[in-house]
Every structure is written in C-alpha cells, then in structure tokens.
Amino acid sequence: MIDIDAYCARVGYDGPRQPTLETLREVHRLQPQAIAFENLDPLLKRRVLLDPASLEQKMLHDGRGGYCFEQNLLFAHALRQLGFKVTELAARVLWNVPPGVNTPRSHMLLLVDLDGERYLADVGFGGNVLTAPLLLESGMEQATPHEPFQVLKDGEHYLLQFKMRGEWVKLYRFDLSEQLQPDHEQGNWFVSTHPHSIFVNGLLGARAEPGRRYALANNVLSVHGLNGGSEKRTLNARELRDALGDLFKVRLDGLEGLDSALERFAAGPA
C-alpha cells in the first residue's frame, strides 16, 4: 500500500476517489505531467527498488521520477487503492528496433478491468507515454490528450502504435499473461544493470504537458508540439541540470556523481 493522499497531492488530483472511467482518465492524464520519466539511478549506479515503500519515498516524497517499472507499479498501487481491478503485464519494445530483431519483455504496462471493458493503462513509456487509457479491444484510432493511439489484435498478442506525422508507428507488443513482482524484479535488474542497457549508458528524460512533450536524450533536449512541430537544442552541463529541474521537475538533491555525469554527456561522444 502507498499513501493515496500523498499520491493525489503529487499528481494534482482532487476529484472523486471512486473507480470510474472519469477517475481513471484523469489520474492517467496527470501522472505523466507530474512525475517525469527519468533514469538517473541506473545511470549513477544506484539501486532501483520496486517495493511500495521505496516507490512512495522516491516519487511521492523525494520529488523524483522513474522509468516503466517504477511508474507503472506506483500507478497500479494507486489505482487499486482507488478501487480499480488491475493486472500487471509485460511487453516487447518495438520502438526504434530494426525489423526482425527480437527484444525481451522489458517493458511493464497495466490492464484495468472496468464496467465490463478492459483498458490498457501505461504511464511509463518515456517520450511516447500514453496520457489516457485505451480500450483494449477497440482496434480503432483512439484520441488522447496528445497523439492518437491504436491497439491492434494479432492472434494472442496485441500491438500498440501511435500516429506520428500521419503515419502509424509501432511501440510495443504484448499479451495478457499476468506478471508478478518477481517478474518485475528480474526485468528491472536487467535494464538497470546490464552493461549495454540504454538506462545504464544514456541520460533519458521525458514529461508530457498540455500541448507538448519534453524529451531528453543525452545532451539533446527536444520539445514536440501537438501540431507536429519539434524543436531540438544541444545543452551544456549547466543547462542539462536546469532542464532536469525546471522542465522535467526532478528534484536533484543528494545525487552523488550527477554533475560529473552531466559534464560527460555535455561533452558529447568520446
């Protein structure tokens, strides 16, 4: 269990606490705005802990963000305390993966059963994070506060994709096999410690807000507007720290080694 009052305060939710579609849509919209996607702990070789107390402390009280396992586990705990029925799932990422390359089930997502319908919920997919739940069985284009998304059925699997500049782009593939805490611990250990993991080797950040998305990849800041326009800027170390604090709203207190890491990324590839 987590402190649901602290969760609602952190994400800015002050509405009814009943398990309705309106509640689900609102908290799904708010969490990606309030709690950034970031990978500072694995980047700085700090342990990423997934127990409820650690998730609560890091993201609700310490002002930090997290990646998919942290974000979606926190979201799952909050939804259950609001009365929702939630199943935890795993996906194989397809975004930026060459065709024919198989990826592990390294992404966590959620399935919410509500009023006889099933919804895909996912507040942890970085720069393309969903900002609304999606009907699982729709197959149709579904509007969100940001881009349109689509869930397609493919045999026993499902495919999530979103529309970028008028074209459908695949994000990940998943099935409905329930994942348990040991499954998350295994996937989390892999992505947070493997020497070739992007979370170990790169600086990543993302946050959605009305009308735009912010994304950080090493020393490049991107601002994507809903009209399809994007702006990119290369940042120095001071600007990287400022962006993490101001645009991504991450509290940076006590992160030993962060400044030297930012200097390294600001210098560009070796």
Residue of 8, 122, 184, 224 marked catalytic: 122
* pLDDT confidence tier of residue 119, bands split at 50, 70 and 90: very high
Q: Is the pLDDT of residue 70 over 90?
A: yes
Pick among 3.40.1000.10, 3.40.50.720, 1.10.260.40, 3.30.2140.10: CATH of 197-266: 3.30.2140.10
Residue of 28, 77, 107, 224 marked catalytic: 107
Residue of 68, 77, 146, 184 marked catalytic: 68
Locus of tokens 């070789």 = 45
Q: Does 122 qualify as catalytic in the annotation?
A: yes
* pLDDT confidence tier of residue 270, bands split at 50, 70 and 90: low
Please give the average per-residue pLDDT across 240-261, as a whole number: 97
pLDDT single digits (tens) 123-150:
999 999 999 999 998 889 999 999 999 9
List phi, psi (to 5°) of 44: -95, 15
pTM of the model: 0.96
Q: What integer best gives the mean pLDDT of the chain? A: 95
Q: Is the pLDDT of residue 153 over 80?
A: yes
Please report, for the chain, the start and end positions of each structural domain, with discontinuous segments joined by +. 197-266
Q: Is the pLDDT of residue 222 over 90?
A: yes
Q: Does 107 qualify as catalytic in the annotation?
A: yes
Percent of the chain with pLDDT over 90: 90
